[in-house]
Amino acid sequence: MSTRQLAMVMDLNKCIGCQTCTVSCKTQWTNRDGREYMYWNNVETKPGKGYPARWEEMGGGFDETGALRDGEVPSKYTDYGVPWDYNLDDIMRGEALEAQQKLKQGPNWDEDQGAGDHPNSYLFYLPRICNHCSNPGCLAACPRGAIFKRDQDGIVLVDQKRCEGLRYCIAGCPYKKVYFNPKRFKSEKCIFCFPRIEKGLPPACAQQCVGRIRFVGFLDDVDSQVHKLVHKYKVALPLHQEYGTQPNVFYVPPLPGPPKFDKNGKPIEGSERIPVSYLEELFGPETKNALKTLQAEMDKRKKTGKSELMDLLIAYKHEEMFRIETPRPKPQVAHGGDGLVQIVKRKVPA
């Protein structure tokens, strides 16, 4: 659908859940004008309901016949959470800290809960932005053809002039990464920081990532880190590829972690703390091979001191995580489907 495709790879083994990405995105784009409740970038704890709560059960995406599936539109009261404040003035007078409303839901509501019982509990962090899919569910769902993929980099955008706030895109996106701005009555979403991309800079979330987990580049650029991780080593996998939208954000799955403990507190050799079956639910059947490659390259590095993959993932220099040639921005109009959009000229009888 696009001539080129920008992609992001996130190495989940390095994500510490610090939310610096979330904050950098929020201060850049979503702290104002009806976007206060939105998190174009969020970091959720897996296993967990995520943000918006139970997004994985809300439908959208495509079924096995290639048809768009029905989906739900989340609510801020039950799924996103209503932004709240604390009684910060009162605590200066010795009162206990309290939220100014009854809290029912919020972003990262189930932070650090994970799954499993002590001492074998487990969790990992999953940062999520718009996947800028090759077959976007949002684009397919929009009855007005207001959503388009930029030809020069595959960034998926909502044409704010065509958008009428109908929110079918939110139903159609299986990742629930399109948001409704009630103040502007428009749908809005992660724009992959395209104004930064056009200046050769990575998105704010990637630039600010203290764990250096995010790689950004073009998938057809064989020298890019994203190409090597996705296509050469095949250690970076799309999230829920069964949704049928061909995401362009890829994840290096977390290694299953330290062994589990038996009743006597002894490590069980060869056991997986994070069940690989769970990782496969998220990252698909290639997960096993990816984990095998990661382990083999770690071993190789230990023995020989050499591994291109390990060097890549360590990311000695932050700027080397990004390869963004400055694409020439071309003005473009929404195309959402052959001949779907016709700007109707006013036609009145003579």
Binding residues (CB under 8 A) for another protein: these are 1-2, 5, 34, 59-60, 62, 64-77, 80, 134-136, 139-145, 154, 164, 166-168, 170-172, 179-180, 182-183, 219-220, 244, 246, 248, 336-344, 346-350
Using the structure block, give the residue that is written with the tokens 């291109």.
308
Using the structure block, give the residue that is written with the tokens 């009428």.
164
Min dist. Cβ of residue 46 to another protein (A): 24
Min dist. Cβ of residue 71 to another protein (A): 6
Min dist. Cβ of residue 39 to another protein (A): 13
Q: Which is nearer to another protein, 2 or 271 (CB)?
A: 2
Output the CA angle 163-164-166, nearest 5 degrees: 105
How far, in whole angstroms, is CA 4 from its chain's centroid?
20
Min dist. Cβ of residue 310 to another protein (A): 27
CA–CA distance, 242 with 38 (Å, rounded to integer) = 26
CA dihedral sign, ordered 62, 64, 69, 72: negative
Q: Which is nearer to another protein, 180 or 233 (CB)?
A: 180
CA dihedral sign, ordered 130, 134, 140, 145: positive
Q: Which is nearer to another protein, 86 or 185 (CB)?
A: 185
Min dist. Cβ of residue 128 to another protein (A): 17
Q: Which is nearer to another protein, 171 or 279 (CB)?
A: 171
Beta-carbon contacts of 4 under 8 Å, excluding residues fewer than 6 positions away, are 151, 152, 153, 154, 218, 219, 220, 327
Q: Of the candidates 188, 167, 158, 172, which has an alpha carbon nearest to the alpha carbon of residue 243? A: 172
Q: Which is nearer to another protein, 70 or 262 (CB)?
A: 70
Q: Which is nearer to another protein, 43 or 140 (CB)?
A: 140
CA–CA distance, 227 with 156 (Å, rounded to integer) = 20
Q: Which two tokens stand for residue 209?
A: 């990532």
Q: Which is nearer to another protein, 93 or 346 (CB)?
A: 346
Contact 63, 137 (CB under 8 A): no
CA dihedral sign, ordered 149, 107, 172, 246: positive
Q: Which is nearer to another protein, 62 or 192 (CB)?
A: 62
Min dist. Cβ of residue 215 to another protein (A): 17
Contact 139, 335 (CB under 8 A): no
Residues facing 46 on adjacent strands = 124
Residues facing 45 on adjacent strands = 125
CA–CA distance, 239 with 72 (Å, rounded to integer) = 19
